[in-house]
Amino acid sequence: MPEPASAAGSRPASATLIGMALWVAATICETAMVGCVRIVSQDLHPLQVVFLRMFCGLVVLAPWLLRLGAAGLRTTVFRLHALRSGLQVMAMTMWFASVPLVILADIAALSFLAPLFATAGAMLLLGERVGWRRGLALLIGFSGVLVIVRPGSSFNIGWGLLILAAVFWASALLVIKRMASSETSPCMTAWATILITPVLLIPAVFVWRDPSWTQWALMLAAGLAGTTTHLLMGQSFRYAEASAVMPMDFARMLWITLLGYMLFDETPTWHVWVGGALIFAAATYVTLREARLARRR
């Protein structure tokens, strides 16, 4: 996630409000993407849906990629781009496979896990030191998972897929962190889109069903909404600090839960709200703490 460019306290209140509003708008766009994917997933195989999502995203990004040109794609760490793309393929496939199996509130709550897994991975794999504050946050966040899945109750395989998706996405975040010192964000976004789309086509061919015009329209909308989400999140950091915008991320759970209730008659239990709040609070603290430590360094 991009870091704010200026020091804390150097931005006017109006700019901070704009940044917060942009982040809330991003959560609305992400909710729209999830809704489109959920509708299409009722009739098409998840492997085909995840390919359509990336293909339509590529169509949306095509003018920008052409403008970026060959010079913008120049890289010295192609292997890391390939590794990041492979990890993201696994994360996306498991996430899309979970969509028809769980209520949307579960998806929103467990999606907050990725920063926690990334912090744990940095500690275990990269040897980064994690103090007691972040360690406690990790324990609180993972306890939120237990609240949601309630060990001893009937286990939904969709929960397992979401947790594994978070693990793979966290691994991709670690690779992105490794590349950030030498690669630009446009270069990383371009290579991920170019590499992931043809890879996802291979399994999609074996389960292919011709989408209807409505399904194509929904997936194009999902591609546009997903791309807009990333643009709005990046733009929000031009106006506000991470400490201001990150608490706004909980709006994602509110919108997605409301969408599930309105379109699919889904009512989450208190376990989802409590567990999601614990995971979100821990993920927010870890993200802000790492940003603060990075500024000190």
What is the pLDDT at residue 295? 67
- Which residue has 């192609």 as its token pair? 78
What is the pLDDT at residue 126? 63
Q: Do the beta carbons of residue 52 and residue 248 sit within 8 Å?
A: no
What is the pLDDT at residue 7? 42
Amino acid at 151: P
What is the pLDDT at residue 219? 94
Kindly state the average pLDDT of the residues 87-111.
91
- Residue 31 structural domain: 13-296
3-state secondary structure the chain: CCCCCCCCCCCCHHHHHHHHHHHHHHHHHHHHHHHHHHHHHCCCCHHHHHHHHHHHHHHHHHHHHHHHHHHHCCCCCHHHHHHHHHHHHHHHHHHHHHCCCCCHHHHHHHHHHHHHHHHHHHHHHCCCCCCHHHHHHHHHHHHHHHHHHCECECCCHHHHHHHHHHHHHHHHHHHHHHHCCCCCHHHHHHHHHHHHHHHHHHHHHHCCCCCCHHHHHHHHHHHHHHHHHHHHHHHHCCCCCHHHHHHHHHHHHHHHHHHHHHHHCCCCCHHHHHHHHHHHHHHHHHHHHHHHHHHHC
Kindly state the average pLDDT of the residues 248-274.
88
Q: Is the pLDDT of residue 52 over 90?
A: yes
What is the pLDDT at residue 2? 42
- Does a structural domain hold residue 118? yes
- Does a structural domain hold residue 247? yes
Dist. CA 186–CA 192, nearest whole Å? 10
Q: Is the pLDDT of residue 95 over 50?
A: yes
Mean predicted lDDT score pLDDT of the chain: 84
Q: Highest mean pLDDT: which of 150-159, 205-214, 260-269?
A: 205-214
Kindly state the average pLDDT of the residues 114-140.
77
220 or 291: which carries more pLDDT confidence? 220
Kindly state the average pLDDT of the residues 140-158.
80
What is the pLDDT at residue 1? 39
What is the pLDDT at residue 145? 86
What is the pLDDT at residue 297? 62
Query: Counting beta carbons within 10 angstroms of the beta carbon of residue 130, is it exposed (0 to 12), middle (13 to 18) or buried (19 or more)?
Result: middle
Kindly state the average pLDDT of the residues 96-108.
90
Q: Global pTM?
A: 0.81
- Does a structural domain hold residue 5? no
Q: Do the beta carbons of residue 20 and residue 240 sit within 8 Å?
A: yes
- Does a structural domain hold residue 193? yes
For the chain, what is the domain count? 1
- Does a structural domain hold residue 76? yes
- Does a structural domain hold residue 192? yes
Interior/surface letters 219-249, b for 16+ CB within 10 angstroms, e for the rest: bbbbbbbbbbbbebbebbbebbbbebbbebb
Kindly state the average pLDDT of the residues 174-200.
83
Q: Highest mean pLDDT: which of 136-150, 206-220, 227-241, 274-288?
A: 206-220
